[in-house]
């Protein structure tokens, strides 16, 4: 005999059960909205982010956190209860014992310079760059060169066979490098507990996935959580960790802005894929200078260190050409002799063009206005094109005098002698201003065989020209430079 209590209103009962089940599951899931630009969170969707001011960047993500499994050790044990820790108490700074630990020196002198003297133990380093620029090749080459250390290379983008193929092409010799193709942080930390590596490399942070967060890999929550776990591991174990990060179409690092705040060092690997030279630039460094750079040359067998970049930044030309001037620039602690190339021609299509490659276009327009107002050169109806040789992007104010000289040289079609270089800033009044660390610039120019260098007279006060074999010419106005050269 059928049960009338069950059959009666069966459809209505199933509908009520379905909605109760749905609301129960929704009660278990905790969701929040995160800004894809800066990482700010909000309990509801917002059109404009109040932190960074960007529009339509908030995305809903599902959160699932367990307070007992937030440490990297708990992630490695996969569910075992973590031990309670005693809360820290404030201590007078005079009572804190500090012992300086030696840095890990690599066989890569360019990387050592960029990091400030070597790898700091317990540091978290983020390396960003365009796709195909050579980030994975650089880190694998460093991992293979550290033969005296145990290195774990975690890859979430390539298989073990692909990494082995690249390692054979690099041909770095015998090494103590271990490869792990994994994207789950729990399994990664399990292997770390077993292997106990001295250096950890993760390629890339956007591919890692933590089971504590129920959002997709590469989302704001996943990137922040995975980075926090790796940061805690690095600080507690003293193991240096390298993270490879993707960048967006505008050149900034993908993910929340808090990612750059969490790490200790941010390195940018840049360069034109059509050229062979690559530049490793420091964006942030808690253990060294933030204006250092390293230069590499991409070859079929890997990346080659360029010990003397001034030789490659100065093109080998056979004869005097107009519109070419050499500037004694400075990037961090490294002096560089950079070639500036200018082309000035009559504007045949109405509005004159102003094009700049490797230099700030607004500053170029300012220098052109100074040349027209203070120097009397009629550049208002001329097309002006500026190029920094070697694919570099420079921001040193000492480039101003060389750029003005190259523009006037092309405008007058008079070549500047090849044994002359410049190192000075140009003001709005046409005055030649002093720049810092002029001794290093002069020494680099002398080492490369230049015979004359033009600097500001205000740099001459603290300078002894007799200490150099190169002729130091001091000027105060742009007109003095042009009268001597042209």
Find the CATH number of the domain harbouring 423: 3.30.230.10
Identify the domain containing residue 333 by its residue range. 311-485
Give me the mean pLDDT over the 398-406 stretch: 96
The verdict on 51 and 197 lying in the same domain is: no
The verdict on 284 and 370 lying in the same domain is: no
pLDDT at 26 exceeding the cut of 90 = no
Tell which residue, 31, 62, 37, has the closest CA to residue 255: 37
Looking at the domain assignment, is residue 123 inside a domain?
yes
The verdict on 170 and 254 lying in the same domain is: yes
Quick: pLDDT tens for 226-247: 999 999 999 999 999 999 998 8
Looking at the domain assignment, is residue 121 inside a domain?
yes
Quick: pLDDT tens for 407-423: 999 999 999 998 999 99
| Annotated binding residue 129 | yes
- DSSP, collapsed to helix, strand or coil, labels residue 443 as helix
pLDDT value of position 77: 57
Among 307, 341, 365, where does a domain finish? 307
- Greatest mean pLDDT among 20-24, 74-78, 205-209, 291-295: 205-209
| Annotated binding residue 9 | no
Among 307, 325, 345, where does a domain finish? 307
d(CA 245, CA 281): 15
CA distances from 463 to 31, 208, 474 (A): 64, 54, 11
Quick: pLDDT tens for 285-308: 999 888 788 889 888 888 998 888
pLDDT value of position 153: 95
| Annotated binding residue 133 | yes
pLDDT at 11 exceeding the cut of 50 = no
Quick: pLDDT tens for 99-141: 777 899 998 999 998 998 899 999 999 999 888 888 999 999 9
Looking at the domain assignment, is residue 183 inside a domain?
yes
d(CA 73, CA 476): 64
pLDDT value of position 67: 46
| Annotated binding residue 355 | no
Kind of pairing between the strands at 265-270 and 124-129: parallel
d(CA 469, CA 300): 40
Categorize the per-residue pLDDT at 343 as very low, low, confident or very high, splitting at 50, 70 and 90. very high
Least confident of 112-121, 203-212, 252-261, 314-323: 314-323
| Annotated binding residue 442 | no
Among 256, 273, 307, where does a domain finish? 307
Give me the mean pLDDT over the 16-28 stretch: 43
Q: How many domains does the chain have?
A: 3
| Annotated binding residue 104 | no
Categorize the per-residue pLDDT at 272 as very low, low, confident or very high, splitting at 50, 70 and 90. confident
Looking at the domain assignment, is residue 88 inside a domain?
no
pLDDT value of position 224: 87
Q: What angle do CA 200, 284, 327 make, to 5 degrees?
A: 120
pLDDT at 284 exceeding the cut of 70 = yes
Give me the mean pLDDT over the 473-480 stretch: 93
| Annotated binding residue 190 | no
Least confident of 166-170, 336-340, 366-370: 166-170
| Annotated binding residue 135 | yes
Find the CATH number of the domain harbouring 145: 3.40.50.300
Categorize the per-residue pLDDT at 82 as very low, low, confident or very high, splitting at 50, 70 and 90. very low
């Amino acid at each position: 005999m059928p049960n009338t209590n069950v059959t009666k209103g069966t459809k209505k009962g199933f509908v009520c059960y379905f909605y109760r089940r749905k609301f129960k599951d929704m009660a278990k899931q905790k969701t929040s909205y995160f800004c894809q630009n800066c990482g700010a969170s909000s309990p509801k969707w917002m059109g404009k982010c109040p932190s960074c001011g960007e529009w339509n960047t908030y995305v809903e993500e599902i959160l699932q956190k367990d307070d007992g499994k937030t440490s990297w050790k708990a992630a490695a044990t996969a569910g075992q209860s973590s031990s309670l820790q005693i809360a820290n108490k404030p201590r007078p700074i005079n009572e804190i014992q500090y012992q300086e630990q030696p840095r890990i020196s690599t066989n890569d002198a360019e990387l050592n310079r960029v990091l400030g003297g070597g790898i700091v133990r317990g540091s978290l380093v983020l390396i960003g760059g365009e796709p195909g620029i050579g980030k994975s090749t650089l880190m694998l080459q460093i991992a293979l060169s550290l033969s005296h250390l145990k290195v774990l290379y975690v890859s979430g983008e390539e298989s073990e066979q692909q990494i082995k193929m690249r390692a054979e092409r690099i041909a770095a010799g015998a090494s103590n490098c271990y490869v792990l193709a994994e994207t789950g942080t729990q399994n990664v930390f399990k292997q770390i507990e077993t292997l106990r590596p001295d250096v950890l490399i993760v390629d890339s942070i956007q591919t890692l996935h933590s089971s504590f967060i129920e959002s997709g890999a590469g989302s704001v929550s996943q990137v922040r959580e995975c980075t926090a776990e790796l940061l805690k591991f690095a600080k507690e174990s003293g193991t240096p960790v390298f993270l490879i990060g993707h960048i967006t179409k505008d050149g900034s690092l993908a993910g929340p802005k808090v990612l750059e705040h969490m790490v200790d060092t941010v390195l940018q690997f840049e360069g034109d894929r059509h050229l062979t030279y690559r530049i490793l630039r420091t964006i942030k460094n808690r253990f060294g200078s933030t204006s250092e750079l390293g230069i590499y040359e991409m070859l079929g067998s890997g990346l080659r260190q360029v010990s003397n970049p001034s030789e490659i930044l100065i093109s080998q030309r056979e004869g005097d050409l107009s519109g070419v001037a050499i500037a004694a620039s400075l990037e961090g602690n490294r002096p560089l002799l950079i070639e500036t190339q200018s082309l000035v021609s009559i504007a045949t299509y109405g509005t004159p063009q102003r094009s700049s490659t490797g230099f700030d276009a607004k500053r170029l327009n300012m220098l052109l206005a100074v040349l027209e107002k203070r120097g009397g050169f009629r550049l208002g109806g001329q097309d002006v094109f500026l190029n920094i040789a070697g694919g570099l992007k420079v921001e040193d104010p000492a480039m101003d005098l060389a750029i003005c000289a190259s523009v006037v040289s092309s405008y007058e079609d008079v070549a500047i002698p090849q044994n002359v270089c410049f190192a000075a800033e140009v003001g709005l009044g046409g005055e030649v201003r002093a720049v810092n660390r002029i001794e290093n610039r002069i020494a680099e120019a002398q080492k490369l065989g230049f015979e004359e260098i033009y600097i500001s007279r205000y740099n001459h006060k603290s300078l002894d020209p007799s200490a150099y074999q190169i002729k130091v010419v001091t000027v105060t106005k742009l007109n003095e430079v042009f009268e001597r050269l042209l």
